[in-house]
Amino acid sequence: MASQFDNFAPAEGQTSKWRDSLTWSALIIVGILIYEITTQPILGVIVVCSKFGWNNFLVAYLLRRVDSNHARGRSASWFCIAAGLLSVVYASMFLAIGLFLTLGGPLGPAGFQAMVVRVITAFGTLFLCYLLMTVVVLRGIYIAARSQTKVWLTMPWFLRSRKRKQENFIDGLIAFALIPAALVSVGMFALIGSSLNLQGIAMILFMEGVGVPWIILTFFLLVKSYVILKKRYLAVTPFECWDCDHLGKIMVAQMSSPRRARLLMQLKQMMTETE
């Protein structure tokens, strides 16, 4: 089994190029068709950008199947889903900006209105995805807390630093997941301020006397929450979470998400054959 698995790593890269090309081509075609049918560029963007998170979602699914430590597999799978959502969010944001710059420029009132609708839709989608990612991260933390498991996801290969020490990608996921909480806090402050109908000096005093402490308190609470969550539920080293077996090697190694998903799929097939 060991030799078969070790020989798979160089071979799987040779068989995946055509499959990836076909997948991207099919998604682009579907995105164009959705845009032509609905005349909504954002819907086509979401379809195409979903490919950026597919492999993380597949890793999450496979972890639940191949990990004998079910609590660890469930908790890590939720963070893999969060990583996929984050990839979709950023891909959607960049493509939405591209659409904003290239499609339907502000040529008259109609063009300007179309551009505004496009921007509102894009950032609305971005905010909803962030909220969903926050829910997913909190779910993963809840499972880790209930099972007393410390979790680790290796930093993606395109974000890795030059430092020799490996970094836990869940650190960044938790930080990103707290962003909606900051936005909600600022929104609550703005809602309270607008309901008071303050003007002139009263508004200035309200902003300085209440707004500044409000922002400082929000920042303190978010940082405190991040530190507590990191200390209690995140592994300091990879093997504080993963074992020195095939699964551990796959999850600890710095590689792309498509490669990790293919290796996990191969591991699942090998485990099925040996049963």
For residue range 86-106, list pLDDT tens digits in order: 887 777 777 667 666 665 555
164/218: higher pLDDT: 218
Secondary structure of residue 185 in the 3-state scheme? helix
Domain of residue 77, residue span: 2-274
pLDDT score of 155: 83
Q: Is the model's pLDDT at 188 over the cut of 60?
A: yes
Interatomic CA distance for residues 48 and 103, integer angstroms: 17
The runs of H, that is alpha helices, within the chain are: 2-15, 17-38, 41-49, 51-66, 70-102, 108-147, 169-177, 179-196, 201-206, 212-233, 246-252, 257-274
What integer is the mean pLDDT of 105-134? 66
pLDDT-based confidence at residue 162 (cuts at 50, 70, 90) = low
Q: What is the mean pLDDT of the chain?
A: 76
Percent of the chain predicted with pLDDT > 90: 25
Q: How far from chain centre, in Å, is Cα 54?
A: 11
Q: Which residues contact 12 (CB under 8 A, 6 or more apart)?
A: 259, 262, 263, 266
Which is more confident, 12 or 164? Answer: 164
Q: Does the pLDDT value for residue 122 go beyond 70?
A: no
pLDDT band at 133 (very low <50, low <70, confident <90, very high): confident
Q: In the predicted model, is pLDDT for residue 209 greater than 60?
A: yes
Total structural domains within the chain: 1
- Confidence (pTM): 0.77
Residue 64 scores a pLDDT above 70: yes
Mean pLDDT lowest for which of 116-120, 181-185, 261-265? 116-120
Q: Residue 66 and residue 139: Cα distance in Å, rounded?
A: 20
pLDDT for 4: 45
Main-chain phi, psi angles of 168, to 5 degrees: -85, 115
Rounded Cα gap, residues 185 and 209, in angstroms: 16
Lowest mean pLDDT among 51-60, 157-166, 190-199, 235-244: 157-166
Mean pLDDT of 223-238: 92
Which tokens go with 122? 């894009």
Q: Is the pLDDT of residue 22 over 70?
A: no
Q: Enter the tokens of residue 215.
A: 């922002």
pLDDT at residue 24 is higher than 50: no
Contact 123, 170 (CB under 8 A): no
What's the pLDDT at 111? Answer: 59
Q: Identify the residue with better confidence: 103 or 13.
A: 103
Q: Is residue 18 pLDDT above 50, yes or no?
A: no
- CA within 13 Å, CB half, 75: 24
Which segment of 25-29, 39-43, 253-257 scores lowest on mean pLDDT?
25-29
